[in-house]
Amino acid sequence: MAVARLVTKNNKLYQQIEDAALADEFEVIFEAASAAKRQDFVKMLTWLKKDSSTMAMTHDILKNRRLTRDQERSVMVLSAYCLGAMIRAGNALPYTFKALKVDRASVEYDDVDGYSASGDTSAMCTSNVDQAAGIARLQFLVNHVIETIVANSVSTKRDCYYILKNQFQKYPWMDLNGQGESDRLIDTLERITRLQRENLNIIADPKGLIYGDIAIIDEEGTEFSCGEREQSITGLAGQWEIKKYNVKAVVPIEKTGVFMDLKKLKVADELGIGLIHLGGQPARGCRALIKLLSEKGIPIGVLTDFSPWSGMIAKSVMSGSINAAHLSGLHASRAAFLGIESADVNTWLRDVWKSVQEPLSRNDLQRAQNNLSLPYMQDDYWRGENEWFIKHARKTELEALGTAAGSPLKKKEFYKSYLRAKLKQKLKVRV
Amino acid sequence: MAEKKRTTARDLAKQMKEISFSEFIATNPHLVGFESTVKMIPMSIHEILTNSLDACESAGILPEVWIDLKSLDDRGRLKRFRLTVRDNGPGIVPRNVPLVFGKLLYGSKFGVRKQSRGQQGIGVSAVVLISQIKTGEHAIVKTSTDGRTTHVFELSVDVDKNTARVHDTGKEKAGGWTGVEISVVLEAQYSARIMEYIELTAAINPHLSLHYDGLNEKDVLEIPRRTDVMPALPVETKPHPSGVDYDLLKRLASRTRYERIADFLKGEFDRVRMDTVKEVWGILKGRVDAKKRPAELDRDELSALADAMCAAKTPPPSPECLSPVGEQTLVQGVVSRLQPAFIEAVTRSPRAMRGQPFLVEVIIAYNCSADLAGVGESSIDPVTGVYVHRFVNRVPLLFSEAGDVTIKAARDAGLSRYEIAPETRSHLFVHVAGVNIPYTSESKEAIKYVDEYYEEIRLAIQECGRKIAKHIRSIKRSEEKAVMGKRKAIIHSLLLRELNRFAGEKVAGMEYAAAFGFDHVVPEILEQYHLDVFRAVQPPRRARESTAGSKKEKRQQPAPEPLRKPALAIAR
């Protein structure tokens, strides 16, 4: 079959995309689009767009909106994929979307870079009916997110599930089988763009607080300070900008009690450090903000419980995680661990250890065992910690520090000395 | 203790007497199938109808039978009915009428080595006898052999003497009709099996026209004949060597015209050629004097010869004595009544059971959209999940299915393996045509379990099942294909709808649908789901209006297709 082409005298970007599309090489399209300059892309779309099409909306976003580099790349990659699809479909050819593969077998770990995808891709091809159904939904989702961005709205995974369900339920073989299916589609969008879904305004629940002498410009350009009171970290924190700061370090804390105590006792103010409340396993916004702070050169010290799970929490802040291996910008590799460790049992917690210890549950022990095989826990420190858990089958939590202080009156001094010592020991920061 | 008087042999001898066969049947009606009031009407119809059909076929007349059943009075559960059956056969010579209808064991078919419905000459006279015992009414028989005069007899059976007692005779004008009409009064319980019997008889006898006029307007059946071809008349054959016994051999040897034993074997037995004779000699190893004439053979020699003949390998018996319905005719008979999705028939080649040839025919009517009258859901065989209909020599068998070899074979055939699923309304017809069928009783309600029969019936059902399974599979495949086409069409249409939304125009033409192999379903999808996603016709070139009106837009003028990389042109 003869292949129809547009006449493309000058637009190099379009030629690249068209060539790659005709060869069904969507990886090449990804590279071209994510490397493209924004104004080149706008130029191409100006020439291609039709009135009231999603493509025209893409054009408007790229032309007029304030976007981070990651946001504009996400939008450009998706548009380029759609262009490729148009070229293929216009020639009655099947096409193959390529997305980064993220599983245990296809990620690599590096102590500095954390987890990263090895570059293996998985394919979805329209010549396979099941995969074509996936691509149809994906295409709908692309239109949906671009409209979301145009409207300056946000959506969540649940939003996407409902809207997909509403769209496809009436057709046989197209109904969604639970939210898991739409979640996987969003995941595919992330693996195609290789950027967080937050860049497409698909946000996670806001979780986490920040406190300290830090001034931030949010995704809409509004400036706010975190010095007067703690500020909530939204799902879009990755799009924020750190305007200025006056802290010597930032300490992300697992537990609410200790976070509030350090703030109320003015420990943070007097030591000149910032605080971040993680609230258990940190949300993506939280991790992204920590990364932004770290990039500014602020030392990060993670303060968590003393248990196999807390090790995971700390390490996800420090090294990223396997299922986010395709995303950069979610971990601060220079961060250090300030939490309770095995050595503290005989020092900071010596007097109270008997009363603050808890036995490990079966689940905890299993976690410790599994930790031994995790790539990011292979250094001597973490091996030692996990082996300690397996050997002693004991754990404790951050609240133990308050008990160790003796009385609420002595807490302030105790926290201060603890943080001073740990920051000095782990990060060489004097406060 | 009172002394008991001894009875002498002389006293006993005084009590001994010969009983007539009529008396015997009158006291043992169950032996001929009249033990229950439910069976009364179907069995009576059966006995009369088989006689009519045998007579018509022997005379070469296409049979047409009128059955009339009327209720005479109402006595709660049991009612009196008048059953009248009339045929268009050759009729019966008036002199013979009292014998045929009034004397048991009077008949023409006993011991004849060819397939026929009747065998002993009990049936129709038994009907007359039972009717008379239960109701005291006489049977009325009308017959015409020449089409001019109808002879009317009112008769009953003299039970003591096993002869007919004629009460009245008369004559009427026949008006061109030949045949027999018999009318009896029966005390019976009405049952749906009457209809079933008539339906099944019609199904297995496509050359028969049947008119049934029942109790009310709804209870009526009109089944015209579906073929004008008469079934081949079976020819009487010689006995087959595999079923020979001493007695038969002795009788044949004593009256044969052949001088030499080898000629005797070849001449008097079915399918015996020189090679069979040689084999028989081989097995005998000189135990029989080959120089003797057949009549001179002594008891040991005859016995040895019979054993050797049974042991020798012989070709299957000649099928001329059998009259199978034939696959095509069978199918004709069934299709019009049941309207199956598809139907397959299998006719096995004849086999012998103790020298008596038989053959098995099987039809499976798969997924029928019509029902047979009188055959409800409850008649589905619970094991096989299909309706099983049994026939012997073109006569349906309705009762005693528990002990029947056909039911057992059908259940063992494993129909479920052939995907003849229980939820479809499928009918299995098994017809056994044979000489001297091994019935379980004189009422001829079921065939005994005999290995040869069991094996043949099971194999026939399985063969037919395989043929049906082929259809089922091909249908499933084409269904799957159709569904696949529709599924593809929906999914790709939705994909293109979204892509079109992105592009702001219809991206693909119908060639897209053709390339993905669902172009035939596109109109249906458009109709059903309003997914109008394809360009109507391909525009000459993607010449587009400039949107912003800037100078840059002038680049895309219509131009010849630039194929920069021809290799990519065949990207598929």
Query: In this prediction, what percent of chain B has a pLDDT beyond 90?
Result: 16
Query: What is the band of B109 on the pLDDT scale with cuts at 50, 70, 90?
Result: low
Both A186 and A224 in one domain: the answer is: no
* SS3 sequence of B491-542: HHHHHHHHHHHHHCCCCCCHHHHHHHCCHHHHHHHHHHHCCCCCCCCCCCCC
Of A2, A22, A89, the CB nearest to B512: A89
More confident of the two residues B493 and B549 = B493
What is the CATH classification number for the domain harbouring A228? 3.40.1360.10
Tokens 């079921």 appear where?
B446
What is the CATH classification number for the domain harbouring B258? 1.10.8.50
User: Does residue B93 have a pLDDT over 60?
Assistant: yes
Is A399 inside any structural domain? yes
Of A5, A90, A174, the CB nearest to B507: A90
User: Does residue B243 have a pLDDT over 90?
Assistant: no
Both tokens of A158, joined, read 């649940």
CB < 8 Å from B in window 92-121 of A: 92-94
Both A91 and A117 in one domain: the answer is: yes
pLDDT for B316: 77
Average pLDDT over residues A328-339: 86
Is A86 inside any structural domain? yes
What residues make up the domain containing A230?
A: 209-427
Is B325 inside any structural domain? yes
Instruction: Tell how strand B163-173 and strand B149-158 pair up.
Output: antiparallel
Of B249, B280, B311, the position where a domain reaches its end is B311
Both A262 and A133 in one domain: the answer is: no
What is the CATH classification number for the domain harbouring B160? 3.30.565.10
User: Does residue A1 have a pLDDT over 60?
Assistant: no
User: Does residue B539 have a pLDDT over 60?
Assistant: no
Is B225 inside any structural domain? no
Q: Calculate how close chain B gets to A255, using CA atoms only, in Å.
A: 46
pLDDT for B75: 62
Is A3 inside any structural domain? no
Q: Cα–Cα distance between B564 and A5 in angstroms, integer?
A: 9
Query: What is the band of B548 on the pLDDT scale with cuts at 50, 70, 90?
Result: very low
CB of B530 less than 8 A from some CB of A: no
Both A164 and A189 in one domain: the answer is: yes
Both B377 and B303 in one domain: the answer is: no
Both B293 and B346 in one domain: the answer is: no
pLDDT for B111: 62
Which residues is B197 bridged to in the sheet?
none
Q: What does the CA dihedral A176, A179, A180, A184 come to, rounded to 10 degrees?
A: 80
Is B519 inside any structural domain? no
Query: What is the band of B362 on the pLDDT scale with cuts at 50, 70, 90?
Result: very high
Q: Cα–Cα distance between A58 and A72 in angstroms, integer?
A: 10
Query: What is the band of A325 on the pLDDT scale with cuts at 50, 70, 90?
Result: confident
Instruction: Count the neighbouring beta carbons within 10 Å of the beta carbon of residue B254.
Output: 10
Is B545 inside any structural domain? no
Most confident of A167-171, B29-33, B104-108: A167-171
- Please judge whether B491 and A55 are an interchain contact, meaning their C-beta atoms are less than 8 angstroms apart: no
Both B346 and B406 in one domain: the answer is: yes
* SS3 sequence of B77-124: CEEEEEEEEEECCCCCCHHHHHHHHHCCCCCCCCCCCCCCCCCCCCHH
CB of B516 less than 8 A from some CB of A: yes
Of A200, A248, A238, the C-alpha closest to A216 is: A238
Both A231 and A359 in one domain: the answer is: yes
Residue B273 near residue B317, CB atoms below 8 Å: no
Both A181 and A254 in one domain: the answer is: no
Q: Cα–Cα distance between B89 and B181 in angstroms, integer?
A: 10
Query: What is the band of B551 on the pLDDT scale with cuts at 50, 70, 90?
Result: very low
Both A177 and A82 in one domain: the answer is: yes
User: Does residue B234 have a pLDDT over 90?
Assistant: no
| Lowest-pLDDT choice from A3-17, A114-128, A276-290, A416-430 | A3-17
Average pLDDT over residues B317-345: 81
Backbone angles phi, psi at B377, to 5 degrees: -55, -35
pLDDT for A150: 93
Of B97, B183, B81, B181, the C-alpha closest to B134 is: B81
Of B488, B494, B570, the CB nearest to A174: B494
pLDDT for A143: 95
Instruction: Count the neighbouring beta carbons within 10 Å of the beta carbon of residue B475.
Output: 14
| Lowest-pLDDT choice from A3-7, B93-97, B407-411, B496-500 | A3-7
Is B384 inside any structural domain? yes
Q: Residue B454 is which amino acid?
A: Y
Provide the ipTM.
0.84
Q: Give me the number of domains chain B comprises.
A: 3
Model confidence pLDDT, tens digit, residues A58-80: 999 999 988 888 899 999 999 99
Both A142 and A196 in one domain: the answer is: yes
Both tokens of A162, joined, read 């409902």
Q: Calculate how close chain B gets to A41, using CA atoms only, in Å.
A: 14
- Planar angle of CA B416, B421, B427, nearest 5 degrees: 95
Both B183 and B51 in one domain: the answer is: yes
Is A324 inside any structural domain? yes
Is B568 inside any structural domain? no
CB < 8 Å from A in window 446-505 of B: 484, 486-488, 490-492, 494-496, 498-499, 501-505
Q: Residue B362 is which amino acid?
A: V
User: Does residue A304 have a pLDDT over 90?
Assistant: yes
CB of A131 less than 8 A from some CB of B: no
- Please judge whether B502 and A3 are an interchain contact, meaning their C-beta atoms are less than 8 angstroms apart: no
pLDDT for A3: 60
Is B56 inside any structural domain? yes
Residue A235 near residue A204, CB atoms below 8 Å: yes
Residue A339 near residue A310, CB atoms below 8 Å: yes
Of B267, B288, B311, the position where a domain reaches its end is B311
pLDDT for B565: 38
Both B467 and B347 in one domain: the answer is: yes
Run of H or E residues at A74: helix A69-90
Please give the order of strands across the beta sheet that includes A249-253.
Answer: A231-232, A209-211, A273-277, A249-253
User: Does residue B375 have a pLDDT over 80?
Assistant: no
Is A4 inside any structural domain? no
Query: What is the band of A8 on the pLDDT scale with cuts at 50, 70, 90?
Result: low
Backbone angles phi, psi at B40, to 5 degrees: -55, -55
Average pLDDT over residues A308-314: 91
Average pLDDT over residues B435-462: 87
Residue B434 near residue B450, CB atoms below 8 Å: no
Both B77 and B185 in one domain: the answer is: yes
Cα A192 → chain centroid = 15
Q: What does the CA dihedral B137, B138, B144, B149 come to, rounded to 10 degrees?
A: -100
- Write out the DSSP string of A256-277: HHHHHHHHHTTHHHHHTEEEEE
Can you list the alpha helix ranges (DSSP code H) found in A91-178?
Answer: 129-150, 157-168
pLDDT for B87: 92
What residues make up the domain containing B253?
A: 241-311
User: Does residue B202 have a pLDDT over 60?
Assistant: yes
Of A5, A25, A145, A130, the C-alpha closest to A79 is: A145
Average per-residue pLDDT for chain A: 90
pLDDT for A321: 83
Most confident of A284-288, A371-375, A418-422, B516-520: A418-422
Assign B253 to helix, strand or coil. Answer: helix
Residue B447 near residue B453, CB atoms below 8 Å: yes
Q: Give me the number of domains chain A comprises.
A: 2
Residue A248 near residue A431, CB atoms below 8 Å: yes
The contacts of residue B515 (CB under 8 Å, 6+ apart) are A1, A92, A93, B572
Q: Cα–Cα distance between A33 and A53 in angstroms, integer?
A: 20
CB of A421 less than 8 A from some CB of B: no
Model confidence pLDDT, tens digit, residues B119-177: 666 778 888 888 888 888 899 999 998 889 999 999 888 888 888 888 989 998 988 89
Is B120 inside any structural domain? yes
Tokens 């014998």 appear where?
B99
pLDDT for A21: 92
| Lowest-pLDDT choice from A324-328, B37-41, B186-190 | A324-328
The H helix count followed by the E strand count for chain A is 17, 15
CB of B528 less than 8 A from some CB of A: no
The contacts of residue B520 (CB under 8 Å, 6+ apart) are B485
Residue B102 near residue B125, CB atoms below 8 Å: yes
Both B77 and B31 in one domain: the answer is: yes
The contacts of residue A225 (CB under 8 Å, 6+ apart) are A213, A214, A215, A216
- Please judge whether B572 and A93 are an interchain contact, meaning their C-beta atoms are less than 8 angstroms apart: yes
Of B285, B311, B337, the position where a domain reaches its end is B311
Of A403, A385, A404, A405, the C-alpha closest to A395 is: A385
Query: What is the band of A98 on the pLDDT scale with cuts at 50, 70, 90?
Result: very high
Residue of chain A whose Cα is closest to the Cα of B507: A90
Average pLDDT over residues A352-371: 92
| Chain B residues whose beta carbon lies within 8 Å of the beta carbon of residue A174 | 490-491, 494
Residue B410 near residue B430, CB atoms below 8 Å: yes
Both A282 and A309 in one domain: the answer is: yes
Average per-residue pLDDT for chain B: 82
Average pLDDT over residues A236-258: 92
| Sign of the four-CA dihedral A149, A151, A155, A160 | negative
CB < 8 Å from A in window 356-415 of B: none
Is A6 inside any structural domain? no
User: Does residue B492 have a pLDDT over 90?
Assistant: yes
Average pLDDT over residues A224-238: 90
Both B385 and B269 in one domain: the answer is: no
Run of H or E residues at B57: helix B37-59
Q: Cα–Cα distance between A25 and A27 in angstroms, integer?
A: 5
Residue of chain A whose Cα is closest to the Cα of B562: A5
- Please judge whether A3 and B568 are an interchain contact, meaning their C-beta atoms are less than 8 angstroms apart: yes
User: Does residue B542 have a pLDDT over 60?
Assistant: no
pLDDT for A310: 92
